[in-house]
Structure 1
Amino acid sequence: MRRVEHVMGFPVSLRIDDEHVPQGLADAVYAWLREVDDRFSPFKPHSEVSRLDRGEIGRDDVSPDLAVVLDVCERYRVASGGAFDARLPGRGLDPCAVVKGWSVQRAAEMLRAAGVRRFCLNAGGDVVVAGGPWRVGVRHPERADRLCTVLELTEGAVATSAPYERGEHILDGRTGRPATGLLSVTVVAPTLTEADALATAAFAMGPEGVLWAAGREGCEVYAVDRGRRVRRTAGLPVA
């Protein structure tokens, strides 16, 4: 089964290679992602995130799901020394860097709970796989038609942070300015929640973020700095 829908501002593709796919499972996956977008987008005035940012609800009144997202944001803010921050000065609350990975990871857990053994869920280039081997290409940060490397995973997640799609949108929370020390950071981790948040935080930190992310348990890193030098961990699962 293969399916692609545009959700949360990017294409989300689902491939399931099992012979029997439970009826309605793909519908449930995409319905969940649309629900997350409606509830947690800072760009929608009615969303829970927007209402919290405006002070219409308090931190103690948020839903359990948003409480989890905010806790993850705070954990990475502290761990990155403030480089990763969902509340930047002069800007509203924006937990998107965590929401994407967390929600897609939850979708992957829905697939596993339904008995699916072999799948690939790709959300705008951030990927969760199971039942591999799966080959995941890492895009060249300056050439859209080229790959830097190809990874091979059986289980786990891959996320990349870079400015090539949305410009210099990743800010260093310590300065409030665009992070410019790296061209791209790719993180391999057990879950997409970890991979996505780590990739964003490491990019915000700059070159020091590569070693920081590499030191996280169960994580591997592939990064390209502004000097076009590749920095990679020894355990990176290159195909």
Structure 2
Amino acid sequence: MRRVEQVMGFPVSLRIDDEGLPESAADAVFAWLHQVDARFSPFKPDSEVSRLDRGELPDPSEDLTEILGLCEHYRTATGGAFDVRLPGRGLDPCAVVKGWSVQRAAELLRAAGAKRFCLNAGGDVVTAGGPWRVGVRHPEHADQLCTVLQLTDGAVATSARYERGDHIIDGRTGRPATGLLSLTVVAPTLTEADSVATAAFAMGAEGVEWAAGLEGCEVFAVDADRQVLRTPGFPTAPTGETVA
């Protein structure tokens, strides 16, 4: 089963290799992701996030409370480099919402009986079964890969400048993060991989060591001097075809 839909401003592709799994399993994934977009997008004036930011939502939902708790965890852990409440800007928890919601979608698939699948949300990937080969785009050449990794059950996320420019702000300075061109994190869940990748990128060069020191995380980074930094356990794949 294969399906692609545009959600939250980027393409989400789903591949399920299990035979006999009903289409309703994929329907549930995309219905959930569209619901998340409606509830937590800071760009939708009637979303929970926008209403909370305007002071119109005195009691956040359980899901939003969980998201904000994760945001606060990474703000504290990075000394303020990662911050979803930057001065002069509205509340924007997108860096946590994406990975959190796609991980939840993967859990819906597992609950439906899927054992081998790949869920790719704008380049951030959750896999089950496998092995799956995942390519990481070169930070300066869109038609090239800088590495290919191999995952069985896990997640990978990359933060970089190449899609949205200098969109990641170092909350300590209020200026765009510098020091890295891209940073990829492999972790057990996409909630962690995506949040850590963004938080570490916001920290700049020091973020590589910080992310590498987190339990269960492996890191591949390209710094501003074009040097490649990787942890010993980063699951680099043997040469071969990239399928995700």
- When normalised by structure 1's length, the TM-score is 0.98
- Give the root-mean-square deviation of aligned CA atoms: 0.5
- What 5-or-longer segments of structure 2 have no aligned partner? 238-244
Deviation at residue 180 of structure 1 after TM alignment: 1.5
Alignment of 1:160-171 (within 5 A): 160-171=158-169
Deviations 1:18-63, CA, capped at 9 Å, x for gaps? 01113411111100000000000000000000000001112xx011
Q: Which amino acid counterpart does residue 224 of structure 2 have in structure 1?
A: R
Deviations 1:49-93, CA, capped at 9 Å, x for gaps? 0000001112xx011010110000000000011000110011100
Return the alpha-carbon distance in structure 2 between the equivalents of residues 123 and 197 of structure 1.
Answer: 14
Return the alpha-carbon distance in structure 2 between the equivalents of residues 71 and 170 of structure 1.
Answer: 20
Q: Which amino acid counterpart does residue 233 of structure 1 have in structure 2?
A: T
Return the alpha-carbon distance in structure 2 between the equivalents of residues 23 and 39 of structure 1.
Answer: 24
Return the alpha-carbon distance in structure 2 between the equivalents of residues 115 and 25 of structure 1.
Answer: 9
Q: What is aligned with 1:14?
A: 14
Q: Which amino acid counterpart does residue 108 of structure 2 have in structure 1?
A: M
Aligned residues: 237
Alignment of 1:81-92 (within 5 A): 81-92=79-90
Q: What is aligned with 2:180?
A: 182
Return the alpha-carbon distance in structure 1 between the equivalents of residues 159 and 129 of structure 2.
Answer: 25
Alignment of 1:120-131 (within 5 A): 120-131=118-129
Q: Which amino acid counterpart does residue 27 of structure 1 have in structure 2?
A: D
Structure 1 stretches of at least 4 aligned residues deviating more than 2 Å after TM superposition: none
Q: What is aligned with 1:154?
A: 152
Q: Which amino acid counterpart does residue 127 of structure 2 have in structure 1?
A: V
Deviations 1:164-216, CA, capped at 9 Å, x for gaps? 00110000010110001100000000000000000000000001000000000
Return the alpha-carbon distance in structure 2 between the equivalents of residues 99 and 64 of structure 1.
Answer: 14
Helix, strand or coil: the match of 2:38?
helix
Q: What is aligned with 1:238?
A: 236
Return the alpha-carbon distance in structure 1 between the equivalents of residues 86 and 72 of structure 2.
Answer: 13
Return the alpha-carbon distance in structure 2 between the equivalents of residues 57 and 23 of structure 1.
Answer: 36
Deviation at residue 100 of structure 1 after TM alignment: 0.2
- What 5-or-longer segments of structure 1 have no aligned partner? none
Alignment of 1:98-113 (within 5 A): 98-113=96-111
Q: Which amino acid counterpart does residue 82 of structure 1 have in structure 2?
A: G
Residue 53 (structure 2) pairs with residue 43 (structure 1): no
Helix, strand or coil: the match of 2:210?
helix
Q: Which amino acid counterpart does residue 118 of structure 1 have in structure 2?
A: R
Residue 51 (structure 2) pairs with residue 55 (structure 1): no
Helix, strand or coil: the match of 2:84?
coil
Helix, strand or coil: the match of 1:24?
helix
Q: Which amino acid counterpart does residue 170 of structure 1 have in structure 2?
A: I
Return the alpha-carbon distance in structure 1 between the equivalents of residues 19 and 121 of structure 2.
Answer: 23
Residue 76 (structure 2) pairs with residue 78 (structure 1): yes
Q: What is aligned with 1:203?
A: 201
Percent identity for Structure 1 against Structure 2? 79
Return the alpha-carbon distance in structure 2 between the equivalents of residues 83 and 90 of structure 1.
Answer: 16
Deviations 1:127-186, CA, capped at 9 Å, x for gaps? 000001000001000000000010001110000000100110000010110001100000
Q: What is aligned with 1:25?
A: 25
Q: Which amino acid counterpart does residue 128 of structure 1 have in structure 2?
A: V
